[in-house]
């Protein structure tokens, strides 16, 4: 190794399988009647860079069919030093999506409906992830911003750590795994949202 060479930390990530590995971690975010059961979900434990420039350990739950691919995506984001402020299970917020977003928490599985609809959210299937939601808010066609504190980041010409922009490293990493970005939707834009179905 040459003098002055900077050695970046190595990425560490794992996938925990089986109902027991997940069931105790979805006390609030899962209930009977949800479209998938704990046995169909996987717990990811991964390293990620924080907004403080340090490496942290986080957790995320996704559907088993997407677990390995999402582990690969998170590895790419780590190698690119893309910062994620918080990566905690939504159960840390009692499955309250508004509280999780307000904390700028990145999350995956949450058995909930689409806001204002009777349809299941893609999060209820474990096939969606919301990334740094405060810095990548949901912006309706009418100009409503969610979470409300994300309003300064509704201006997508802005450049700040953790923001996502068309064609960037984050969008490309998810696209390589077959997941699509809500920032490309017509009308309302969900800049935090990636899903396997594009919904």
Annotated domain spans of the chain: 13-195
What residues contact residue 117 under an 8 Å CB cut-off, 6+ apart? none
- State residue 161's pLDDT score: 97
pLDDT category of residue 21 using cuts at 50, 70 and 90: confident
Look at residue 4 and tell me whether its pLDDT is greater than 90: no
Q: What percent of the chain has pLDDT over 90?
A: 91
Look at residue 1 and tell me whether its pLDDT is greater than 60: no
Taking the C-alpha atoms of residue 60 and residue 107, their distance in angstroms, rounded to an integer, is 6
Mean pLDDT for the chain overall: 95
Beta carbons of 171 and 181 less than 8 angstroms apart:
yes
Total-model pTM = 0.94
Beta carbons of 137 and 155 less than 8 angstroms apart:
no
Model confidence over 59-79: pLDDT tens digits? 999 999 999 999 999 999 999
Look at residue 38 and tell me whether its pLDDT is greater than 70: yes
User: Which residue pairs, CB below 8 angstroms and at least 24 apart, start in 1-6?
Assistant: none
């Amino acid at each position: 190794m040459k003098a002055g060479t900077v050695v970046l930390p190595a990425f560490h990530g794992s996938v925990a399988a089986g109902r027991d590995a997940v069931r105790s971690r979805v006390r609030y975010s899962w209930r009977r009647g949800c479209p998938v059961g704990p046995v169909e979900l996987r717990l990811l434990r991964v390293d990620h860079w924080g907004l403080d420039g340090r490496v942290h350990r986080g957790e995320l739950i996704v559907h088993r069919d997407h677990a390995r691919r999402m582990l690969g995506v998170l590895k790419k984001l780590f190698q690119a030093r893309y910062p994620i402020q918080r990566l905690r299970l939504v159960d840390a917020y009692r499955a309250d999506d508004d509280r999780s977003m307000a904390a700028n928490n990145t999350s995956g599985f949450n058995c909930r409906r689409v806001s204002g609809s009777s349809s299941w959210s893609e999060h209820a299937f474990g096939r969606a992830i919301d990334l740094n939601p405060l810095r990548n808010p949901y912006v309706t066609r009418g100009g409503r911003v969610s979470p409300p504190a994300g309003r300064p980041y509704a201006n997508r010409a802005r450049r700040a750590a953790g923001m996502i922009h068309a064609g960037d490293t984050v969008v490309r990493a998810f696209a390589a795994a077959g997941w699509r970005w809500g920032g490309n939707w017509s009308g309302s834009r969900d800049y935090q949202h990636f899903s396997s179905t594009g919904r």
